[in-house]
């Protein structure tokens, strides 16, 4: 992908925020929201290993609803979200990326991992000044989370191979736009090198 590049101003300490890598988004046999994305899973597996070795914080997110009034307008716009009921298998993190003890799962109702959650407070407590945002989908929850992270004065790094979308054109367009305005989009190898 040819993105307009700028010099990376790296954070001193990153947190890894894995957005919606739940079965509802990773298993097309179970959910209308999902896409077949083994390369995204593998990139996230490598990042998880690197963050765990370094001892830097890891946060997962999942979308789950236990009340019809939660994110009512969002769910009207995208009715397929209604399959993500709290306690169902679809809201569980994909077992290929199983969280370890001490790695929080942030339950969210809207697109951004920050909106209506305690993520910013948890990042502050972890002493980070940047986030690597990964997961699904690039044009939706990844983008919303990256933009909100910037608006909380965090440096945002997006490992290109660690995000994905059901729509390849939307994926490319959003990575271009994120790089231009909100985040640093870099190859996976570059991001792993920062953690070495």
Catalytic sites, residue numbers: 141
What is each CA distance from 51 to 57, 71, 144, in whole angstroms?
7, 32, 23
* Tokens (6 digits) for 188: 């996976």
Count of CA atoms in the C-beta half-sphere (13 A) of 18? 30
Instruction: Please give the torsion angle defined by the CA atoms of residues 72, 77, 82 and 86, in that order, rounded to the nearest 10 degrees.
Output: -50
What does the angle CA 63 – CA 65 – CA 70 come to, to the nearest 5 degrees? 105
Q: Pick from 157, 191, 190: which is nearest to 175 by CA? A: 157
Strands (E), the chain: 14-19, 58-63, 105-108, 130-136, 155-159, 163-164, 184-186
């Amino acid at each position: 992908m040819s993105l307009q590049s700028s010099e990376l101003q790296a954070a001193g300490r990153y947190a890894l925020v894995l957005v919606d890598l739940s079965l509802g988004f990773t298993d097309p046999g179970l959910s209308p929201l999902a896409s077949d994305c083994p390369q995204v899973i593998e990139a996230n597996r490598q990042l998880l290993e690197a963050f765990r070795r370094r001892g830097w914080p890891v946060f997962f997110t999942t979308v789950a609803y236990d009340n019809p009034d939660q994110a009512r307008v969002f769910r009207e716009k995208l009715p397929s979200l209604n399959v993500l009921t709290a306690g169902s298998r679809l809201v569980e993190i994909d077992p290929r990326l199983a969280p370890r003890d001490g790695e929080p799962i942030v339950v969210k109702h809207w697109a951004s991992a920050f909106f209506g959650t305690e993520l910013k407070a948890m990042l502050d407590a972890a002493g980070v000044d940047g986030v690597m945002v990964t997961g699904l989908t690039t044009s939706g929850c990844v983008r919303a989370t990256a933009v909100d992270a910037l608006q909380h004065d965090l440096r945002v790094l997006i490992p290109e191979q660690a995000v994905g979308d059901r729509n390849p054109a939307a994926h490319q367009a959003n990575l271009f736009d994120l790089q231009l305005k909100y985040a640093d989009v870099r190859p996976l190898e570059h991001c792993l090198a920062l953690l070495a």
